[in-house]
């Protein structure tokens, strides 16, 4: 019950204060450039990495990126820039 109310208040605040929803709602911001770059902000940490897959922890669930020839170009506490050939971006409710 309170979860729905909190979401409504956050949406209202985002609209009234003209703040991006990803900041108020603690959502990841994902920017892709074609299939070759993906920049992910506001994640909770790196869970696993290989040249074919990366898994990030989110506030709610996980983000799984699949592809080939992955290289981490930049990694900061809440941001990551990944380069390679991206084939899938999936949200997992785990």
32-67 pLDDT, tens digit each: 999 999 999 999 999 999 999 999 999 889 999 999
Which helix (DSSP H) or strand (DSSP E) does residue 13 occupy? helix 2-17
Residue 71 pLDDT level (bands cut at 50, 70, 90): very high
Of 93, 92, 36, whose CA–CA distance to 68 is shortest?
36
Average pLDDT, the chain: 87
CA distance 86 to 94: 22
Determine the pLDDT at residue 2: 63
17 pLDDT above the threshold of 70: no
Ordered structural domains, the chain, with CATH: 27-92 (2.60.40.2000)
Contacts of 76 (CB under 8 A, 6+ apart): none
Q: Percent helix, strand and coil across the chain, each rounded to 5? A: 20, 50, 25
The pTM score is: 0.76
């Amino acid at each position: 019950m309170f979860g729905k109310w909190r979401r409504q208040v956050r949406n209202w605040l985002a609209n009234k204060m003209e703040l991006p929803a990803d900041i108020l709602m603690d959502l990841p911001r994902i920017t892709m450039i074609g299939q070759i770059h993906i920049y992910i902000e506001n994640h909770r940490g790196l869970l696993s990495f290989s040249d074919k897959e990366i898994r990030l922890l989110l506030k709610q669930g996980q983000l799984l990126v699949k592809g080939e020839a992955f290289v981490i170009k930049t990694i900061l506490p809440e941001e990551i820039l990944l380069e390679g050939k991206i084939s899938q971006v999936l949200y997992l409710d785990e």
